[in-house]
């Protein structure tokens, strides 16, 4: 019996993923919202973890190195609504074995799980972080300049969260969050998070 653990803040997604995967003989699926991920891995001992990035109280991208350190044999599939072109390469570098967008049909999850369990990786074609010069402001390359922690802070700022809320969620000081924000603006050349968001949105809309 193969145990699969699905961690996602959205109960409807957990229900749907469980329904799809448990149609496969030999698969048993446990689901949970974010929180104490390492403890849940210890309790369920899954062969495969399906993990969202944007969890309410944790961040899957930052959890990946810790999961890989403590559970090196567990396969990890990132299942995220965040853009693959920005996050799949980072997930690969952080230790994930695969990345599937939530925009993709759930029917693709089952073959992806089989591939991972048989030792393959599953990532969108052509995913790779580009090397950047320090002075580039090409919106297609901006996100690759940021560290994983800066990416998390940027996402939370874009969601409209205050510095205090971000500090509480990531167990940081208010000053540290301000420092991350300053680094994001310095690396991007943007004058504000709003301007940076506009650049990235324009890039996403371009063919």
pLDDT digits (tens, 9 = 90+) for 22-39: 999 999 999 998 778 899
Q: Which domain holds residue 147?
A: 142-205
d(CA 50, CA 102): 12
Q: In terms of domains, do 55 and 11 share one?
A: yes
Residue 67: CB atoms within 10 A of its CB come to 20
pLDDT of 64:
93
**Count: domains in the chain:** 2
Among 48, 82, 117, which residue terminates a domain?
117
Q: In terms of domains, do 146 and 113 share one?
A: no
- Token code pair at residue 9: 């803040």
> pLDDT tens, 93-113?
888 999 999 999 998 999 999
Burial class (CB in 10 A: 0-12, 13-18, 19+), 194: exposed
Task: Give the domain CATH number at 43.
Answer: 3.40.50.2300
Is 125 inside a domain boundary?
A: no
Among 115, 143, 113, which Cα is nearest to 129's?
143
Q: Give me the residue label for tokens 């205090």.
A: 164
Give me the tens of pLDDT residue by residue for the chain, a chain 207 residues long: 899 999 999 999 999 999 999 999 999 999 998 778 899 999 999 999 999 998 887 889 989 999 999 999 999 999 999 988 888 888 988 889 999 999 999 989 999 999 999 999 898 876 644 333 333 445 556 777 888 888 899 999 998 999 999 999 898 998 899 999 988 888 887 778 888 888 777 655 554
Is 16 inside a domain boundary?
A: yes
Q: In terms of domains, do 25 and 71 share one?
A: yes
Is 32 inside a domain boundary?
A: yes
Q: In terms of domains, do 172 and 97 share one?
A: no
Residue 146 main-chain phi, psi, to 5 deg: -90, 145
d(CA 143, CA 10): 26
Could you tell me the pTM of the whole model?
0.68
Q: In terms of domains, do 11 and 100 share one?
A: yes
What secondary structure letter does DSSP report for 74? S
Task: Give the domain CATH number at 192.
Answer: 1.10.10.10
């Amino acid at each position: 019996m193969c145990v699969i653990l699905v961690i996602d803040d959205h109960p409807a997604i957990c229900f749907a993923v469980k329904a799809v995967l448990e149609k496969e003989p030999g698969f048993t699926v446990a689901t949970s919202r974010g929180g104490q991920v390492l403890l849940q891995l210890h309790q369920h001992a899954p062969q495969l973890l399906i993990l969202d990035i944007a969890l309410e109280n944790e961040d899957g991208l930052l959890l990946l190195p810790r999961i890989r350190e403590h559970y090196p044999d567990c396969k990890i599939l990132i299942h995220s609504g965040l853009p693959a072109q920005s996050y799949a390469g980072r997930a690969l570098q952080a230790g994930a074995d695969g990345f599937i967008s939530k925009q993709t049909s759930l029917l693709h999850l089952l073959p992806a799980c089989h591939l991972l369990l048989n030792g393959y990786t599953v990532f969108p074609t052509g995913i790779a972080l580009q090397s950047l010069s320090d002075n580039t402001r090409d919106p297609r390359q901006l996100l690759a300049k940021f560290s994983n922690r800066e990416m998390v802070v940027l996402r939370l700022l874009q969601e409209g969260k205050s510095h205090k809320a971000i500090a509480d969620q990531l167990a940081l000081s208010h000053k540290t969050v301000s420092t991350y924000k300053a680094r994001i603006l310095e690396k991007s050349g943007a004058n504000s998070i709003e301007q940076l968001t506009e650049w990235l949105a324009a890039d996403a809309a371009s063919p």
